[in-house]
Amino acid sequence: MNVLVIPEDFRKDQYMLKPLIQAMLDAVGQNRANVRVCQDPLLGGISEALKEERLQEIIERYDWKVDLFILCVVRDGVASRKDAVLPRLEVFARQKIRDGHAFFAENAWQELEV
């Protein structure tokens, strides 16, 4: 299984996200999963990570070699992000990816690098 983790800014987030996602997959028996953190394009912040056109760009670039996409952003004090914005992005992305592939979006409660 090839997994692409999409952070809002990989420069610091990658050091927490990759081992965390790898450990989660190991715990559910997917210990051979290949976890990569998306570094191209550099989204550079929450506003870019939540744009449908940026997600489409990533999906078009990586869909042929990724089985599971995970968008992981921070909450930034926006309580409605989990219930409003992220589900909308999941629906959008699932319409763009190939059959048999998956896309999930989640927010960290605090900053990832904390």
Q: What is the pLDDT of residues 30-52, one digit of tens each?
A: 999 999 999 999 998 888 999 99
Q: Is residue 36 part of a domain?
A: yes
Residue 90 lies in a domain: yes
User: How many angstroms separate the CA atoms of 114 and 111, rounded?
Assistant: 6
Please list, in sequence order, all residues whose beta carbon lies within 8 angstroms of the beta carbon of residue 28, skipping any fewer than 6 positions away: none
Residue 82 pLDDT > 90, yes or no?
A: no
Q: What is the DSSP letter of 107?
A: E
- CATH number for the domain spanning 29: value is 3.40.50
- Is position 103 within any domain? yes
| Residue 1 reports pLDDT greater than 90 | yes
Q: How far apart are CA 105 and CA 42, in angstroms?
A: 17
Domain total of the chain: 1
Percent of the chain with pLDDT over 70: 89
pLDDT value at position 46?
87
Q: Which domain holds residue 62?
A: 2-108
Helix (H) or strand (E) holding 79: none
**What CA–CA distance (Å, rounded) separates 57 from 19?**
25
Does residue 114 belong to any structural domain of this protein? Answer: no
In single-letter form, the type of residue at position 111 comes to E
Q: Would you state the structure tokens that stand for residue 62, as one six-digit string?
A: 């990586």
